[in-house]
Structure 1
Amino acid sequence: MAKTTATGLIILFCLQFLVRLFPCHGTDHCSRVKGKDGNDEIKGMFVFGSSLVDNGNNNYLRNSTAKADFLPYGIDFPYGPSGRFTNGKNVIDLLGEKLKLPSLIPTFSDPSTKGRKVVHGVNFASGASGILDDTGFLAVQVISLNQQIRNFEKITLPELEKQLGCGSKELLQNYLFVVGAGGNDYSFNYFLRKPDNNVSLQAFTAILTKLLSQQIQKLYNLGGRKFVLMSVNPLGCAPMVNAVRKGRCINALNKAATLFNDGLKSFIDVAKADMPNSNLVFVNSYKIITDIIRNPASKGFKDAKNACCELVPSIQLGGSGILCKKGGKTCGDRSGHVFFDGLHPTEAVNTQIATKAFSSYLQTEVYPINVNQLAKL
């Protein structure tokens, strides 16, 4: 009897040792995706969209002309030029800081983005891409929004499940899904091809919003529950259309952005029926930037019309430039400029957008709640 008891104790000790050495990857493991105290917290972000949220994916596209991996891009970024289309941090970087994520979100296209690197999220965004697959033809090679979602589904999600040891329906509840797309579909698709385009602006917008809603539904079906949808910025006020606007915003471009943003905001209200247990936030960067442009001094800005960097002329856009010239000059007071290049805001503007997205209680800026409130749900 004594021998049997001793044998049982040895077996019990060995089992406890094995459990500690190889923990079970079931429900208990998934619960550790929550906060240290057992409370919900945002584990990370998965980012989809265009150059406004891209942090370097296009660096790895050999044929793409939409790149920002050279100075003066990144002149104020801690690691220099990184592929971010601004002088410093973009909105995703700044939101990550406010959410107290432990590190910058890695780019999907970087071969080293695997293993534990995907645990706090991945950025799939691609400069010059759009909701439509053919948007981005001007840049030769981009990663469309549809492809970005496929990359998440086929490559990153299985890797994440492997790292955290549980299914997507459990683990993705505490990740933010940020989507910022649509502007390029107008600027570099609809309006650029307008002479050969018989589709009305309203019909084109309906196509975009329907397709985007299906793309968001796809992310929901994969397990996404918390979504941050970025509006299209005031396209008609960007320096790239300076040659036409002569210091004034172009109403036709801004009307397109407004139509899209109204549809995106309406989607928030109807999504609950098709996406139960989901929560969506609409960030109205259009209004935030427009308010700055209308009265720059009141927001701490000096120049709301001109690009901060020296631009490369674009034949397709009638001579107006979009991207900074490699090694070109920059303005001395970058924090006083609204636009860094012909299209993209400075870090100073990105800071205002991220701050309002995270903490504003004005539903004209964030709807129906802010990102901080979304993170706590």
Structure 2
Amino acid sequence: MARKTPPRLLLSIFSLLPYLLPCNCSCKVAETGGGATIRGMFVFGSSLVDSGNNNFLKNSLAKADYLPYGIDFPLGPSGRFSNGKNVIDLLGDQLQLPNYIPAFTNPSTKGSRIVHGVNYASGASGILDDTGSIAGQVISLSQQIRNFEDVTLVDLEEQLGCKSTESLPEYLFVVGTGGNDYSFNYLLSAASSNVSLETFTANLTTTLSHQLKRLYSLGGRRFVLMSVNPNGCSPMVMARQPMRKGCIQSVNRAVSLFNGYLKSLVDIIKPEMPGSNLVYVNSYKVIRDIIKNPDSKDFGDASTPCCEVASIEEGGTGVLCKKGGSTCTNRSTHIFFDGLHPTEAVNVVLATKAYASNLKAVVYPINVKQLASI
């Protein structure tokens, strides 16, 4: 005569079934509008895409958590290095994402707040770990990726109820970095360094490719790579050589070399990352075109900062706005808000072109809208 299984044992077996059987968790995502099929964005990089991570770094000099930063931003000063929205905010608008992408270091960035993505970018940081030391505490790109892997992924799986490898293909991974590796690293040490610009750039690109592959191994499949801006045309750089007129071409040549490598990387790295799609956004060209012909783009001043910049003599950096300092009244026609960072008006042009341009000289090989619809 067969023995009956005790009720308590049956209960224990059924309670273990979810752990013993394959997960049927669904990560299916609803369309966010305009044909886009993404949940949100994970953002890595420097101040051009930082949404406030440096606010929570005690020993960082690279902060924008005070007026006049954010003078035109709905939430006021937030740590964005602009008078209003940065390019990430505006891409989010184009993609019809429901919220601003929260900064990782903000203690409230957890739970349901991360389901549309997280921003890890840190002002003054770079691809190389030692870039940005001049600004005190910053979060390098490598550390940003570790923060994503060690902290966010665990939380994300809990929020979505499925493995991150299932959900991450439905996010954009936006990477905007590299400029500081020249401005605050190579160009500061070029005189004493025996490393050529070509060797430095090749090594920088190789390092970045390893970091992109790491994001791919974690589940990232759709990447947006932002080029470095024409920093040689920034008020910060031109102020260092006041006797010269126009952009400092040696700086622009350096970042242009990197941008060329970065665009090539889109084709080179794709076979090594099966199932991935990468888009190169030529922000250098977009902003350089505005600087060359500001009047044709409804801009005016192409060389001076809109805000009153705190000089080194005043205890500032020569880059950032003076706390509580004055600003220009025509912010919608200014190109640079401070000594380095563009105004919201320029960011609008850049985000619009990144999202919808059909010119391969601007977006390669496809635009962000097409990437989001793949």
What TM-score does the superposition give when structure 2 sets the normalisation length? 0.91
Q: Give 2:329's aligned amino acid.
A: G
In structure 2, distance between residues paired with 1:363 and 1:341: 30
Match in the other structure for 1:350:
347
Contact 2:45–2:176 (Cα < 8 Å) also in 1: yes
In structure 2, distance between residues paired with 1:35 and 1:357: 20
Contact 1:47–1:125 (Cα < 8 Å) also in 2: yes
Match in the other structure for 1:139:
135
> Residues 282 and 316 (structure 1 numbering): CA distance in 2 closer, same or farther, change over 3 Å?
farther
Q: Give 2:353's aligned amino acid.
A: K
SS at match of 1:303: coil
Q: What's the offset of the Cα at 1:314?
A: 2.6
Match in the other structure for 2:265:
267
Cα offsets for 1:191-247 (capped at 9, x unmatched)? 112222111000000011000011000000000000000000001000002221544
Contact 1:51–1:126 (Cα < 8 Å) also in 2: yes
What TM-score does the superposition give when structure 1 sets the normalisation length? 0.90
In structure 1, distance between residues paired with 2:151 and 2:169: 19
Q: Give 1:342's aligned amino acid.
A: G
Say whether residues 1:363 and 2:360 are aligned partners. Answer: yes
Match in the other structure for 1:127:
123
SS at match of 2:26: helix
In structure 2, distance between residues paired with 1:27 and 1:283: 37
SS at match of 2:262: helix
Moved over 2 A (4+): 24-29, 33-37, 314-317
279, 282, 296: which is aligned to 1:281? 279
Q: Give 1:331's aligned amino acid.
A: C
Q: Which runs of 5+ in 2 are unaligned?
A: 1-13, 15-20
- Larger CA deviation: 267-276 vs 361-370: 267-276
Say whether residues 1:199 and 2:198 are aligned partners. Answer: no
SS at match of 1:248: coil
Match in the other structure for 1:5:
none
Match in the other structure for 1:190:
186
In structure 2, distance between residues paired with 1:35 and 1:303: 40
Match in the other structure for 1:293:
291
Match in the other structure for 2:113:
117
Count of matched residue pairs = 353
Match in the other structure for 1:240:
236
Cα offsets for 1:132-157 (capped at 9, x unmatched)? 00001111100000000000000001
Q: Which runs of 5+ in 1 are unaligned?
A: 1-14, 16-23
Contact 1:281–1:368 (Cα < 8 Å) also in 2: yes
Q: Give 2:153's aligned amino acid.
A: L
In structure 1, distance between residues paired with 2:125 and 2:365: 27
> Residues 61 and 36 (structure 1 numbering): CA distance in 2 closer, same or farther, change over 3 Å?
closer
Match in the other structure for 1:86:
82
Contact 2:32–2:39 (Cα < 8 Å) also in 1: no
SS at match of 1:277: coil
Say whether residues 1:227 and 2:223 are aligned partners. Answer: yes
Contact 1:310–1:324 (Cα < 8 Å) also in 2: yes
In structure 2, distance between residues paired with 1:44 and 1:313: 38
Percentage identity across paired residues of the two chains: 64
In structure 2, distance between residues paired with 1:40 and 1:325: 40
Q: Give 1:144's aligned amino acid.
A: S
Contact 1:241–1:320 (Cα < 8 Å) also in 2: no
Match in the other structure for 1:52:
48
> Residues 113 and 226 (structure 1 numbering): CA distance in 2 closer, same or farther, change over 3 Å?
same
Say whether residues 1:306 and 2:304 are aligned partners. Answer: yes
Q: What's the offset of the Cα at 1:316?
A: 12
Contact 1:268–1:280 (Cα < 8 Å) also in 2: yes
In structure 1, distance between residues paired with 2:124 and 2:193: 20
324, 329, 338: which is aligned to 1:327? 324
Q: What's the offset of the Cα at 1:169?
A: 1.6
SS at match of 1:196: coil
Q: Give 1:63's aligned amino acid.
A: N
In structure 2, distance between residues paired with 1:360 and 1:98: 13
Say whether residues 1:170 and 2:185 are aligned partners. Answer: no
Contact 2:25–2:162 (Cα < 8 Å) also in 1: no
